[in-house]
Each structure stands twice: as C-alpha cells, then as structure tokens.
Structure 1
C-alpha cells in the first residue's frame, strides 16, 4: 500500500479554490456540515422520541431510562473514535474510512425513519455510533493533510472547518426538530438521513479534483500475518458478543439499565488505562512523565465540564419540553430549538475569544486557570437554573433562563475546549502523540459515562437539589483547580 510523503500530499492538493484556502477545504467543510446537520438534527429529537407515549409517535420509555440512553449514546460515539482512528491508521486510510462512516451514519438515520419500535432504534444506534467513530476523527485528519506544516493558513483553515460544524449544528434543530415535533418523528429523522446523503454526494463528487492524495496514507498498515490475526480476533470477538447478547437479553440478565453500568465502567476505566500505560512506558521520558501528571487534573476537570455541558441535550431538553413556557413573546417555540443555542453562541463568541488571546499574548491566563474558569462557568450554568426551579413552582418558566444557562456553558466551553486541544498536543509524550489526542476526546466519553448514572436522579421534584449539587460541585472543583494551578503549571515543565 502506498505511503506518500507530506510534500507529495500537499503538492497533489489544489492550493487555491475556497476563500484563499486549498480547494479540498470546500469538500471537507460541506461533508462535515451535513454530517453534523444529520447528527444534531437527530439528537434534538431523540430524547423526546424515546419518552413520548406510543400514541404520540414515541417509544414510551421511562424518562430516566431515556436520559441514560442519551448519555451512553454520546459516550459510545466518542469511544468509537478510537476504532475509527485504528482503521484509518492500519487498514483503509482516512479518506476511505470517512466514506464508509458516512454510509453507516446515513443507514442509521434511515433505520430511525422507519417505524420499527425499539428494534429499529437499537439498530440505528449501533450504525450511527460506529459510523460517527469512523468519520469524525478522520475528516479532521484530512483537513490537516491539505496544508504544509509551516503553512500560515493552517489555523485559519481549521477555524473555517469548525465554523462548518457549528453552522450545521445550528440549523439542524430548527429544521429537523420542527418537522419532527410538528409532523412526526420519523419524517424528522428522514431529513437527517437526507442531510447525510448530501454530505456523501458532496464528498464523492468533489474529492477526486480537490483532495488529491490527502487522507490516502495508511501510516502503519497491517502485515499479512497481522491482518489474518486481526480478522480471526474480530470474528471470535463478534461471536462471543453475539452469544452473550443472545443469552443475557432474553433471560433479563442484561437490561438497558445494566448496559448503562457497562458503558459507565468503560468510560472511566479506558482513560485510566491510557494514563497508566503512558506514565509507565519506557518510551516516556522523565519530563514527559511530569507533564502526564499535569494533564491528569486537567483531564478530570474536562470530564466534569462535559458531563454538565452534554446535559444540554438531555436534562435541559427535558426542562425545555416539560417545564418551560414555549408560547413566549408571540412565538410558538419548539422545545428542540433550544439545541441550536450552543452552536449559535459559539459562532458569536469564538471570534472574540480568538481575538482576546491574541491581544493578551503572554499575559493571558495559564492553561489550568482557563480550565478552572471554564468549569466555574459550567457550574453557574446549572446554579442559575435553581432560580426558575424555586420561583416558578408549578408554573412554566421563562425560556430566557435556558438562554442564559446555554450562554454561560458556552463561555466555559470556549475557555476549556480549544485550549484543551492545544494543550494535549503540547503535553503528549512523543511516543503517544496520536493516542493522547484520542485520550482528549475520551473526556467527553467519560463525562457522558458519568451522566448515564447521574441523570437518573433528575425529575420535577428533585430539580432544585439536582441543579444545586451538580452546579456546586463544578464550581468547587473549579476553585480547587484554580488553587492548584501554580503546581500544575510547574509540572508542565515549561509549557504555558
């Protein structure tokens, strides 16, 4: 299998054609735009589809169970990125992996669009989890392939690409959510499937003339013997899982609740194993070990942050549907529309934060300080929800409270998420550079793995305590991290 040099890849890509960027950025921008449109459109409807009564077109699940499923769904999506990275690195290359991921995602949305009850739902869940794991990490890798390492347009190109993600996420709940709630859920899911279809068509038609050799490399291909062993292990593993499911599901040993415990366990133990392996590896130097230790409290803070942030599509979605006045200022609001607030605020605020860090230069806060502020803002986004929970009583709350809550958590996200990506590349041991980036994405998987257990405690009677405890814990951890930030900075060994 061919292994091209970086120079060969960059030369094969038309370097002009999309607002001064390589032509391939157009392909990847719209591929990811449509993929995020389909994913966030589906996600805006999913929890309502799960707990609405069958007579209203839903599955009729218990609200707590639906919330837990949403959490493990999100956790598995991020865990599956490890599989997608491995397949691209050892089997197919990023470009082919992205294509097959898109096909699986589209099939998953088609399965949801068919009124097949829980069977169709779980089939779609498996397809979308695997498909997103194949597509999401690898489409970003291809963006990196478009540019030479010293190309000044590189950071700007990723910013443009990131904007495509958020525009897709902004529009999806407004379109898919409206159709799903005003007409029926399955038609809404059909629109999500069509969105992924458009993404695939864009990718297939334009990649030949725009991507060149980008994403074609297989950096560490399997040898013939390794390929044979891998296939054997895959088949054996698939058979074992199939047998276990065939035995445990009919007998009631494995329930949905039991599955949430399994995913929660994996979401916390996989990152722990990563840290142990990196720290104890002979390939990790003394300085790198110190940086790994510095990374651990940042990782924990990020997990707690994502646990709160991701509840925007779970608990706050329920709050919007059940406890919020949706007839506001003459507008007939759909509860799914609130899922557009997060990407909307990111689009508005991201340029400000980019300008702020450039303006402050060396005077900007340290990484640990930014993380602590991000966690504190996330905590306040929950604490603020105690006010309508207390003052509204049995009356419906103003939607402005949710608007404020989403705003606060986005401020926290912009303090923590981009900084986390940058810091991960700086603190990663050289021998584990790519794997440490996968580890960063496990902060979200771990946060949502925790959510699978936490969200079970939410209901209308417990909401004041629920928002208060989670918000208070986040603020307290943020303050502790702020106090520890000088020690963490020292452990970073020269990394700001």
Structure 2
C-alpha cells in the first residue's frame, strides 16, 4: 500500500496523481512526434505528382536521422534552461507550445520553407519539453525507494508508446488524404496535451516550479552576450555558405552529425572535471560514459525504423489485404503495439528477485545483442524479397527483437540517469541521456546512405553483426561497470536502476 493511498489521496495505478498529468502530456507529445516521424521520409521522397518534395532517398534518410538527432540533442540546453532560468514546469509548457506551432507550420501547404521551419520549431520545443518532463517524473519520487521510482517510470514509458500509435491516424491522413492533413492532426494532438497539462498542473505538488540553480543577474547578462554572439556567428556562416552555393541539405546534415558527436564528448569531459561534481559522483559518471556509448550504438540501429525499414516496407513488403493496401506508415505501429504487450512483463521481471540479480550493464548488453539480431533478421528478409515482396511477418519478427532490446534499455536508461546524476546537474543529465539518442540517430542517418551502395542484405547484416559484437563486449565488462556504479557487493535495488 502506498503512502498516498494511506492518506486517502487520489492515485494513478497506485502512484501520485501528478504522474497522470505527466503521463498524458508525454503521450500526446509523442503522438505528434511519432505521427510526423511515420510519414516524414515518405513525404520527402514522394514525387510532386503526389504532393511530396521529391528528395533523393539517401538525402531524405539522412535528413530524417538528423531531425531525430536534433530533437534529442537540444534536450541538453533544454535541461540547462530549466535548471537555471525557467524551472521544469514552465519549460514543459513553453516547449509544448513551440512544438504545436511547428506542426502547424508543416500543415501549411506552402512548400519546403514551411516544412523546414516546422522541423526547426519542433526540435526547439522538444528540447524544452522532453528532458524536463522526465526529470519531473523522477522528482515525484524523491525520498522513495528505487523500485517504486522505476515502476513509475515504467508506467510513464507506457504513455510514450500509446502516443506512438499515432501513425494509425496521422499516417492514414497523410498517405490516403493529404500529407499536410496528417501534419495538422499532429498539431491537434499536441494541443490536447497542452490543455490537460495546464489543467492538471495542480497535482504536481510543486515539482518543477522553480529553477534548481537560478542564474544571477551577472550570469544572465553574460548568457545574453553569448547567445547574441552565437546567433550572429551562425547567421554569418549561413550567409557565406549560401553565397558560395554550399548550403545544401547534405552539407547541413553532415555538419549537424559532427555536432551531435562532438558536443556529448566535450560535455561529458566537462562534467568529469567539474568542481560541482563530488568524487563519488565522478566515479559513477565514469560508468555512465560506457552506458552512454552503448545506448548510442543501440539507437543508431533502432531508430532506422522510420527510414530504411519504412522504405523497405513500402517497396518490399506485401501490404495488400483483401484488395486494400495498408498505409506503409502503419508498419511503424508494430513496435509500440509489441511494447504495450510486453512492457508489463518486463516491469514485473525487473521488480522480482530475477530483476534484482540482473544489473543495468547486463540489460544494456542484452539490448545491444537483441537489436543487432533484428538487423540480421532484416538481412534475411531482404534476401528473401529479392526484387519482389515478402510477408509482413518478417517485420513483426524484426520489431519483436527490437522491443525486447528497448524494454531492457530505454526505461532503464531514464531511471539510471536520474540515479547517477550529480546533484548540481539533475535536469542537464537527463539532457545528456538524450544526447546518446542524438548521436546514434545522427550517425544512423548518415550510415543509411550506404544502403544503396551496399544493397539491403549486406547493409543490414554488417550493422547487425557490429552491434552484436558491441553487446558481447559490454557483457565482458559488466563486473567493472557495476563496481564503478557501486553495485559490486550488493544486488541492484531494481532492474531499472
């Protein structure tokens, strides 16, 4: 029985009702994100006769990868803004507003300019919302044991995957009615999420109301100078490249990929040397660096679903059922449906004695092996397809393996980040966690360019084998990682720690 139930307070599956507010906010934000993600690459490569942008397939995959990368990349400054300026609660609110405006921009059939503006707005808004809403979930459980906090994150994670079923509506509208109608549906979803967030904020018990380390007036003035200088420098570089004719989509995606790799390396190095990090926190951070690298490799493979796997489904999977062709984007729903089916099973496993014997590094290593095997299966599907089409059962098998990996890594990563975060960088560390996704997605987008040159079979098999080897290497160093995390002489408090 929970403390809240003893006091007679309203609960959400036995957890604080504030979790419901954050659950549904995240659910609708993910609805807008995954709805767009499910049709974006299809829209980009569609010919003008189908109201698409007629973009080269390799460029479209790279753009999709960089877009997803930047969505997570800006989580770091988003966490910093919450920590130092807005507070998590207002950061989530304003982030949701900007996201909604981004989808509205994409719903306007005004050409590529509105599309690029919309993507930029969605990126900026998600940077404010995504890390801070996860941090607020963790704050709801301050002073409580790790197992209860991890169970809360598992429930929260279910909201993410319910929202990711958006392609059923957004995908159908986009492919069967009009691309921009699909984008408009994503905007409406974010609007619903904002409304319930505002109405439900009273249940958050003051969580996230004030910045953890508010900037002093001098720091604000310094920040303003740096921001203005950075904007001026960026504008000058863009103007020069445009004048030279070098401001292409390909050039931008490559530059942003480099940024997605350099920034986390520099920032993690800064944290390890920061005087605000204690010696004990620094030791735990060393373990976190290796978990970060493992997560980046995982997302490099996993987040190719809306790119190479989506295009493969469109070109090589039989989607006809009794004379009706299923929208290609609906194949993106296989993953969240399987997650919804298995999330409860994994949550139970990680809170039983079995889960307590399996450490966080074990789970990360297992996740890498599973996602690697999924691409081995994809190579088999590609070989079976040849120049024709294969049954959708192949994709179901691929996504099933990926789901086993995701449920072993993603909610666990959210939880371990809140546990290992240095006190002075709580919100920012959630941003660091999302930088792993940013790095993986950016590299994955560029790697996807190799698919045309290598062919599907070689492409999927090579990446799958590489990831399996990475998982085996992490298994080999589990004991060292547990020692750094302080878990060597005792079982972990929970499977999601």
* TM, length-normalised to structure 1: 0.90
Structure 1 position 34 matched with structure 2 position 66: no
- Taking the aligned partners of 1:401 and 1:289, their CA distance within structure 2 comes to 44
CA contact (8 A) 1:107 1:127 kept: yes
Q: What SS is found at the alignment partner of 1:219? A: coil
Question: Aligned-pair distance for 1:325?
Answer: 1.0
Where structure 1 has 5 or more consecutive residues not aligned to the other structure, the ranges are: 1-9
Which among 316, 332, 338 is matched to residue 331 of structure 2?
338
Q: Which residue of 2 aligns with 1:202?
A: 196
Which among 462, 474, 478 is matched to residue 481 of structure 1?
474
- Taking the aligned partners of 2:322 and 2:357, their CA distance within structure 1 comes to 41
Q: Which residue of 2 aligns with 1:467?
A: 460
Which among 378, 399, 410 is matched to residue 371 of structure 2?
378
Q: Which residue of 2 aligns with 1:193?
A: 187
What pairs up with 1:99-138 in 2 under 5 angstroms? 99-138=93-132
- Taking the aligned partners of 2:483 and 2:379, their CA distance within structure 1 comes to 38
Q: Which residue of 1 aligns with 2:87?
A: 93
- Taking the aligned partners of 1:48 and 1:236, their CA distance within structure 2 comes to 38
- Taking the aligned partners of 1:14 and 1:441, their CA distance within structure 2 comes to 37
> 4+ residue stretches of structure 1 with deviation over 6 A?
none
CA contact (8 A) 1:14 1:22 kept: no
- Considering Cα pairs closer than 8 Å and 6+ residues apart, tell me whether 1 or 2 has the greater RCO: 2
Structure 1 position 162 matched with structure 2 position 189: no
Question: Aligned-pair distance for 1:418?
Answer: 2.6
Deviation by residue 1:251-289 (Cα, 9 ceiling, x = unmatched): 222321111221111111112112322333455555555
CA-atom RMSD, angstroms? 2.5
Q: Which residue of 2 aligns with 1:216?
A: 209
CA contact (8 A) 1:287 1:493 kept: no
Q: What SS is found at the alignment partner of 2:303? A: helix
Deviation by residue 1:35-86 (Cα, 9 ceiling, x = unmatched): 1111111111111111101110101100000000011001111111112112
Q: Which residue of 2 aligns with 1:442?
A: 435
- Taking the aligned partners of 1:471 and 1:232, their CA distance within structure 2 comes to 46
Question: Aligned-pair distance for 1:127?
Answer: 0.3
User: 473-482 or 402-411: which moved more?
Assistant: 473-482
- Taking the aligned partners of 1:335 and 1:244, their CA distance within structure 2 comes to 39
Question: Aligned-pair distance for 1:362?
Answer: 7.0
Structure 1 position 74 matched with structure 2 position 74: no
CA contact (8 A) 2:83 2:427 kept: no
CA contact (8 A) 1:15 1:21 kept: no
Structure 1 position 271 matched with structure 2 position 268: no
* Aligned residues between the structures: 483
Question: Aligned-pair distance for 1:128?
Answer: 0.2
Question: Aligned-pair distance for 1:296?
Answer: 3.0
Note closer, same or farther for the CA distance 1:288–1:213 as it changes in structure 2 (3 Å cut): closer
Note closer, same or farther for the CA distance 1:23–1:125 as it changes in structure 2 (3 Å cut): same
Question: Aligned-pair distance for 1:219?
Answer: 1.6
User: 56-65 or 326-335: which moved more?
Assistant: 326-335
Q: Which residue of 2 aligns with 1:262?
A: 255
Deviation by residue 1:402-445 (Cα, 9 ceiling, x = unmatched): 11111101101112223333333444455555443322221101
Q: What SS is found at the alignment partner of 1:458? A: helix
Question: Aligned-pair distance for 1:154?
Answer: 4.5
- Taking the aligned partners of 2:31 and 2:294, their CA distance within structure 1 comes to 29
Q: Which residue of 2 aligns with 1:5?
A: none
Q: Which residue of 2 aligns with 1:318?
A: 311
Q: Which residue of 2 aligns with 1:248?
A: 241
CA contact (8 A) 1:14 1:24 kept: no
CA contact (8 A) 2:157 2:411 kept: no
Question: Aligned-pair distance for 1:225?
Answer: 2.2
Q: What SS is found at the alignment partner of 1:187? A: helix
Note closer, same or farther for the CA distance 1:161–1:426 as it changes in structure 2 (3 Å cut): closer
CA contact (8 A) 1:84 1:135 kept: yes
Note closer, same or farther for the CA distance 1:226–1:433 as it changes in structure 2 (3 Å cut): closer
Q: Which residue of 2 aligns with 1:54?
A: 48
Structure 1 position 403 matched with structure 2 position 374: no
User: 192-201 or 468-477: which moved more?
Assistant: 192-201
- Taking the aligned partners of 2:405 and 2:17, their CA distance within structure 1 comes to 34
Note closer, same or farther for the CA distance 1:128–1:21 as it changes in structure 2 (3 Å cut): same
- Taking the aligned partners of 1:147 and 1:379, their CA distance within structure 2 comes to 34
CA contact (8 A) 2:134 2:430 kept: no
Note closer, same or farther for the CA distance 1:326–1:222 as it changes in structure 2 (3 Å cut): same
Q: Which residue of 2 aligns with 1:357?
A: 350
Note closer, same or farther for the CA distance 1:490–1:87 as it changes in structure 2 (3 Å cut): closer
CA contact (8 A) 1:14 1:210 kept: no
- Taking the aligned partners of 2:284 and 2:199, their CA distance within structure 1 comes to 44
- Taking the aligned partners of 2:12 and 2:78, their CA distance within structure 1 comes to 28
- Taking the aligned partners of 1:166 and 1:494, their CA distance within structure 2 comes to 30
User: 66-75 or 160-169: which moved more?
Assistant: 160-169
Question: Aligned-pair distance for 1:360?
Answer: 3.0
- Taking the aligned partners of 2:93 and 2:278, their CA distance within structure 1 comes to 38
Structure 1 position 300 matched with structure 2 position 293: yes
Deviation by residue 1:195-217 (Cα, 9 ceiling, x = unmatched): 1111122223343x434533211
- Taking the aligned partners of 2:141 and 2:278, their CA distance within structure 1 comes to 30
Q: Which residue of 1 aligns with 2:495?
A: none
CA contact (8 A) 2:87 2:211 kept: yes
